[in-house]
Amino acid sequence: MSAVLKPAAASPTVRRKPLLLHPAAKPLLFVLCALPFAWLFYGAFADTLGPNPAEALIRATGDWTLRFLCITLAVTPLRTWTNQPALARFRRMLGLFAFFYVVLHFLAYSWLDMSFDLDTIAHDIPKRPFALVGFAAFVLMIPLAATSFNRAIKALGAKRWQALHKLVYATVLLGLLHFFWMKAAKNNFAEVSVYAVVIAVLLGWRVKQALQRA
């Protein structure tokens, strides 16, 4: 008798993780967030930052701070609009990179403009409104970065932690005002308008959500 051929067993279905949950997603995001720093670091040593490298470093680190604040604020609306809850796992890293670039911004100002002279810095910041507003935004970001860890959330409690991290709204508005005053000196408002629209959309969405819940 001819052998009875048995049907081949169906291969088990392999479930692939979504890209946002892939183990390589966070390391990839880290590399992407660090690219502006790498570019500035290379430019400083290769002398490719233009005729005024000090100003270029100060401006660029400030720009990237504001950009990362906007990107961080965009995570929650994007998570809702795209129905991708996994986006929330990147918010902490993005916020910490915003703090990283504001630290670089303040260090570049303190070093390249003020030569780390604390007396000069202490007198310079209060007498210039745009510098005072920028410094206030920097100070507000310190507790946000310091509590961006699981232990801090447990120590503060979820409600107090969430209340504290609403300081990011004041921070981004102060950052926008800082940027506006800096650009106003050169009568250049094109970039300011773009940031203002983006921030208005991101904060307006939150106001709408809060009103709907109320």
Distance CA 65, CA 21 (A): 26
pLDDT tens-digit profile of 39-63? 999 999 999 999 999 999 999 999 9
Mean pLDDT over all residues of the chain?
91
Q: Is 46 inside a domain boundary?
A: no
pLDDT tens-digit profile of 67-110? 999 999 999 999 999 999 999 999 999 999 999 999 999 999 99
Total domain count for the chain? 1
Per-residue confidence (pLDDT) for residue 16, from 0 to 100: 55
> 5 φ, ψ to 5°?
-80, 125
Q: Is 16 inside a domain boundary?
A: no
Q: How confident is the model at residue 193 (pLDDT cuts 50, 70, 90)?
A: very high
Q: Is 97 inside a domain boundary?
A: yes
Distance CA 77, CA 70 (A): 11
Per-residue confidence (pLDDT) for residue 113, from 0 to 100: 93
Secondary structure (H, E, C), the chain:
CCCCCCCCCCCCCCCCCCHHHCCCHHHHHHHHHHHHHHHHHHHHHHCCCCCCHHHHHHHHHHHHHHHHHHHHHHHHHHHHHHCCHHHHHHHHHHHHHHHHHHHHHHHHHHHHHCCCCHHHHHHHHHHCHHHHHHHHHHHHHHHHHHCCCHHHHHHHCHHHHHHHCCHHHHHHHHHHHHHHHHHHCCCCCHHHHHHHHHHHHHHHHHHHHHHHHC
Question: Tokens representing 155?
Answer: 């120590």
Q: Is 81 inside a domain boundary?
A: yes
- In which domain, by residue range, is 179 found? 53-213
pTM value is 0.89
Q: Is 197 inside a domain boundary?
A: yes
Q: Is 48 inside a domain boundary?
A: no
**Contact 101/68 with Cβ under 8 angstroms?**
yes
Q: Is 25 inside a domain boundary?
A: no
pLDDT tens-digit profile of 132-177? 999 999 999 999 999 999 999 999 999 999 999 999 999 999 999 9
Smallest CA-to-CA distance from 113 within 36, 102, 39, 105 is with 105
Q: Is 3 inside a domain boundary?
A: no
**Contact 205/77 with Cβ under 8 angstroms?**
yes
